[in-house]
Each structure stands twice: as C-alpha cells, then as structure tokens.
Amino acid sequence: MTDFETFLLDGRPVRFTRGQTILEAALAAGHYIPNLCHHPEFRPHGSCKLCTVKVNGRLGAACTVKAMPGQEVASDTPELNGTRRVLLQMLFVEGSHFCPGCEKSGACKLQALAYDLEMLTPHFEHFYPSRPIDASHPDVLIDFNRCIMCELCVRASREVDGKNVFALAGRGTASHVVINSASGKLVDTDFALSDKAAHVCPVGAILPKRVGFAVPIGERLYDVDSISTQAEKRVGEEV
C-alpha cells in the first residue's frame, strides 16, 4: 500500500502524489500560495514568479518545482511576501491598471493579489504605456495596456483551441503580446468568443464586449472572499 507522501509547508505537513508541483499539492490541500500565471489546465509557465517559495532554503517557483518527500517549504513569510509585493508593484506600473474603470475589477487576479498581499501604493513611477486597444473583433475587446504577459491566452489558443491567435514578441521591457494576423488585428484571425483563449485572461486585457458592469460591485468573485480564502475553501478540487 502506497502511503501519501508529505512535505512541510510553513511547518504544516502537506500530502502530495508523485508528479505534483508544490503549488498544485498546496492548493489541493487548501493551502494558498500566491500565483498569477498558473492555471490548473495548462502546463506551468513559471514567468510571474509570484509563487516563489524557499525550498530547503533555496528560492524556486512553486508552480514548477516538483513536490518531494521531506521538503521544507517556506511561503508565507514577511520576506517572501515583501518580494511578492514588489513584483506586483512592478506589474502595476508597467501596465495601465485603472481599476475603477475596468470591467474585470473585483474579478481580477492581479487586483485580488494586491489586496491580499496588502500592496498599498504602486511605489514605482508609472510607465503609462499607451498601447492601442484592439476593438476590431465583433465580440471580444483587447486592451493590452492591462496585459501582464502571463501567456495564458497564447497557451490556450495553441493548446486548446488549436488556433495560435496570440504570440509573444519583442524582448525585455519591450516584450508584448501580438496577434497573429497580417493586419495584426483580431478581426482578421479565426478567434471566436467561444475559444478557451477568450476566457483565461487573469486580468482585464481580453474581455467579451458589451457586458460592462453587469455584476454589481460587492458581488464580484473576490468581493465575497479574498483570493487566498477562496483557495483555502477549495480543498480537494483540481486547482
């Protein structure tokens, strides 16, 4: 009989099955580790680094490091949370996250994490990017000013929809998501509202058109419970 194996997360034992990442095992056990580019249906991406933990004293992304028996993992520490706040602040200033006017407000992972990790100010100077918004598609609006480059749309379009509508272009601070069509416009792709890629964006960059603010403030996803509380309530689900 194969017993469950365990590792220690902030001193508490967490059971896992072989092959699970630290993040997967932690979430399945109802222990929240902040994460942004992770999505249970997609292979780990490891780009946002919000999930960074210390595994036996060494830094690693919980969404990519496999769980191993006997690991000692530190996550909810002032030091790591402080670094996570800095990462969030950089994401906020690098894009244009004008929450009050954004349909995703209250259901946005970036915003929810900022609340959860008590990010009080953006701290750094805003870049104020002015990226054009692509409203060419009849059903979906894209505002890349809000993109955090998690590449979930890229992955979803390629792996689930089999379409390859999005791609990452440029390098370093100039990297950005582009649309794979001759005109660079969404309308000239075979993208559809029913695509997986239309529904995976963790922020308000890819949104269905004409449904602004139908859900009142106070009743939105993270208005009810914080992102960490929600994760803790979802014990046992695939997350």
By CB under 8 A, name the binding residues for another protein: 98, 100-103, 132-133, 135-136, 141, 209-219
Angle between helix 109-116 and helix 78-94 axes, rounded to 10 deg: 140
Does 66 contact ligand FES by CB under 6 A?
no
CB closer to another protein, 11 vs 218: 218
DSSP string covering 92-144: HHHTT--GGG-TTTTS-HHHHHHHHTT-----SPP----PPEE--SSSEEEEG
- Which of the stretches 9-17, 40-48, 68-76, 146-154 binds ligand SF4 when contact is defined by CB under 6 A? 146-154
Does 73 contact ligand SF4 by CB under 6 A?
no
Out of 48, 141, 156, 198, the residue judged to bind ligand FES by CB under 6 A: 48
CB closer to another protein, 38 vs 137: 137
Out of 9, 63, 73, 153, the residue judged to bind ligand FES by CB under 6 A: 63
Window 157-216: residues binding ligand SF4 (CB under 6 A):
177, 200-201, 203, 205-206
Pairwise CA distance, residues 22 & 3, whole Å = 18
Is the distance from CB of 34 to CB of 114 less than 8 angstroms? Answer: no
235 binds, options another protein, ligand FES, ligand SF4, none, Cβ within 5 to 8 A by partner type: none
CB closer to ligand FES, 48 vs 165: 48
Q: Quick one: DSSP state of residue 51? A: T
Does 231 contact ligand SF4 by CB under 6 A?
no
Burial class (CB within 10 angstroms; exposed 0-12, middle 13-18, buried 19+) of 188: middle
In the chain, the N- to C-terminal Cα span, in Å, equals 26
Is the distance from CB of 65 to CB of 21 less than 8 angstroms? Answer: yes
Does 200 contact ligand FES by CB under 6 A?
no
Type of residue found at 211: V
Window 13-42: residues binding ligand FES (CB under 6 A):
35-38
In the complex, what is the shortest distance from the CB of residue 224 to ligand SF4, in angstroms, rounded to a whole number? 23
CA dihedral sign of residues 132, 197, 48, 75: positive
By CB under 6 A, how many residues form the interface with ligand FES?
12
CB closer to another protein, 168 vs 217: 217
Pairwise CA distance, residues 142 & 54, whole Å = 36
Residue ranges binding ligand SF4 (CB under 6 A)? 147-153, 177, 200-201, 203, 205-206
Which residues bind to ligand FES, rule: CB under 6 A? 35-38, 46-51, 61, 63
